[in-house]
Structure 1
Amino acid sequence: MKQARVACFGGIHDAWEVEGKLQLRDGRIVDSDAVIWLPPVEAGTIFALGLNYADHASEISFKAPDEPLVFIKGPNSLLGHNGQTRRPSGVETMHYECELAVIIGKEARNIKQAEAYEYVAGYTVANDYAIRDYLENYYRPNLAVKNRDTLTPIGPYVVDKESIPNPMNLFLRTYVNGELKQEGSTKDMVFDIPYLIEYLSSFMTLHENDVILTGTPKGTVNVREGDEVVTEIEGIGALRNTIVGDHVFNR
């Protein structure tokens, strides 16, 4: 089952994919290009993983960490499918990060790895852009790197966990203007989903609709104003967005 949140008919609606269209909770059927796509979940705490693929760590001249490198993102950074992400003027390096996003389904505290998937509601695609000009160091990216408005497209759908029997063996791909630029597999994560849930829940309570962004493989390249970026994860979907300049936001 694939669930989305969209704006249409003057309101915000939960919607489900039905034969290539969207069915709203009230039964109405709409074309997918007739709605504004919103982040598919009203996120609580958003956890983001740094360097959770060894090949990406090597790509940016770091080694894989010995324990998860986790930082928090604000919900202001989230953006729906087909949205526009602002690239600030004067920035030299801004790159995409195709990531599997894990949606927590219920309160979790001190969860063991063997039970971790019981606390997962589903999965979606995230593109956690990074502006590397603002990076302080690899362990604690400052707020401006990862928390800017519109910096993290997510969606289009949340796919329920029953539809993804093995989330640790999914292909990830990123296309820039139709050209394949990034390719990897979730099997190459340094810390897998059960480990991350055990780790996070060992010192804080996880809640329904918390989101874990699980990191990105190698293949990140600079993107510029006007680029169309599609991040895609096997079995979950393709998330599209466009890079725009300051003028679009009257900056």
Structure 2
Amino acid sequence: MNLTNNVDFLLITENKKTVRLKNNEWNGFKFGVYLLGEYTKLTVDCNKKSNKKELGHLKIRTSHLWMKSVTSTIDCSGLGFPSDSGPGMGGKARKPFCSGGGAGHGQRGSEENMVQGNGAGGPVYGEKMLLKQLLCGSGGGFGFDGANGNIRYGGSGGGVIEIVVEQHLLNYGTIKANGSHGTGGWGGGGSGGSILIHLRPRPTTSPHVLGNITCKGGNQLYSNKGGDGRIAIYGATFLPEETQKIKPRPFNSVQ
């Protein structure tokens, strides 16, 4: 049997290599996905620079998923709704020298003192089980900087990652769909996106390794940070210590 890389399987051995897969279509690799290099990145072909409204949704179906290095990522961060858009968008600053609100998703977005003219945090939306809808994170509201009152845009929301692993998951890197930061902290943080993972029941001799999985909001160091997104993991249950590196806390079911 002759197998072809990037068709039957996906093997990345180079360091600092980025591979972009088809957007919003299933990328199937019957014989596994193996990220073996340092600083390898697997993402989706979503060009936000040419089309800000395009949303990133990475869909992978594979037998095995092995991310060998702690520096390897599957990443759809910042590929959701842009500034001032989306169902949980942060509120706009209402006067100069005020900040935009953080976007909401799985959590409400944060905000500074609204009485002073700062934008409100965005609302919660979607459902925690991720069975009805997989939604991108929303964009933070724009603000005005403290130097000359110029508009500073909010961060984009995180995109969507959907993974089906039919045999074995070994994640020693990071799977993430985080919201991005607003400009200079004046723009509100984008909210985290959605990550849905379907697994086979846990192998008895070689258990799944979940590793780092995050859908965090942007602007984590500011008071107008974006809300976290949503994560759901199906097919196997895990002990609390096995999910310590997952933020936000995932919905988990064997069904």
TM-score range, shorter chain: under 0.3
Larger Rg: 1 or 2? Answer: 2
Relative to the length of structure 2, the TM-score reads: 0.24
More strand by share: 1
Relative to the length of structure 1, the TM-score reads: 0.24
Per chain length, whose mean CA-contact separation is higher, i.e. which structure has more relative contact order (CA < 8 Å, sep 6+)?
1
